[in-house]
Structure 1
């Protein structure tokens, strides 16, 4: 089961990409956010999450799409509690274009990590080692450059090519 964590002003492209990939592979997927009210996305849409944190079933994998100011959300104890409650049971965590900053602020970003150029520079300044690849797995965390690199990372995890 794939959970897509909707941070405020998340990338709907990244969220939709893996939701569709999961659907095509017959995997269960859902969206989750702090509350059940609509969550605004970067391109102006508003998504109503399937679950609020307390009611979300335990996922096997978690996608954190890129978002505006993702590190700020990791300062909210509610987000940290959700992450802590599910972290040990997760097989994979997929990071969108700048979601690395959320996981770094939460103290759960491994090093080395793959990231896009702009995010990579911010991570390098924080002492993280970077891998020059579109995606790479370190432990359970798939760092990616975002966008279509998420699809490649997801295909790596499921062990199947994902045709969209």
Structure 2
């Protein structure tokens, strides 16, 4: 089961891409956020999460789309509690274009990551090593450059090509 974590002002593209990839891989998927009220996305749409934190079933994989100021929710105890609750049971965590900052603030980002431009610079300033490529896996964390770079990372985890 794949959970897509909807941070405030998340990337609709990355969330939709993950949900479609899961559908094509025949992996159950759902969206989850702090509450069940509508969550504003970057391009202005509003999504209603399938589950709020307390009711979400335990996922095998978690995808965190990029968002505006993704580090802010990681300072909120309820976001951290959700991450803590599901972390040990996760096989994989996928990071969208700047979701690295959420995981870094939460203290769970591995030292070696793939990341795009400004995000790479911010991570290097925090002591992380940025490696070239669309995605880099360290442990269970797939750090990506975001957008379409999520597809090969999801394919790697699933062991199957994703045809869109």
SS in 1 for 2:111: coil
Distance in 1 (CA, whole Å) between partners of 2:49 and 2:114 is 28
User: Are 1:29 and 2:25 matched, yes or no?
Assistant: no
Shift of residue 133, structure 1, vs aligned partner: 1.0
Q: Which residue of 1 aligns with 2:80?
A: 80
5+ residue gaps, structure 1, are none
Distance in 1 (CA, whole Å) between partners of 2:29 and 2:109 is 23
What per-residue deviation string (whole Å, max 9, x for no partner) do you get for residues 42-66 of structure 1? 0010000000000000000000000
Distance in 2 (CA, whole Å) between partners of 1:105 and 1:17 is 25
Q: Which residue of 1 aligns with 2:127?
A: 127
Q: Which residue of 2 aligns with 1:117?
A: 117
5+ residue gaps, structure 2, are none
User: Are 1:153 and 2:153 matched, yes or no?
Assistant: yes
Shift of residue 12, structure 1, vs aligned partner: 0.4
Runs of 4+ in 1 over 2 A off after TM superposition: none
SS in 2 for 1:36: coil
Distance in 1 (CA, whole Å) between partners of 2:6 and 2:15 is 8
Distance in 1 (CA, whole Å) between partners of 2:27 and 2:108 is 26
Give the count of matched residue pairs.
Answer: 164
Shift of residue 25, structure 1, vs aligned partner: 1.2
Distance in 1 (CA, whole Å) between partners of 2:25 and 2:155 is 10
Q: CA RMSD in A?
A: 0.4
Distance in 1 (CA, whole Å) between partners of 2:163 and 2:37 is 32
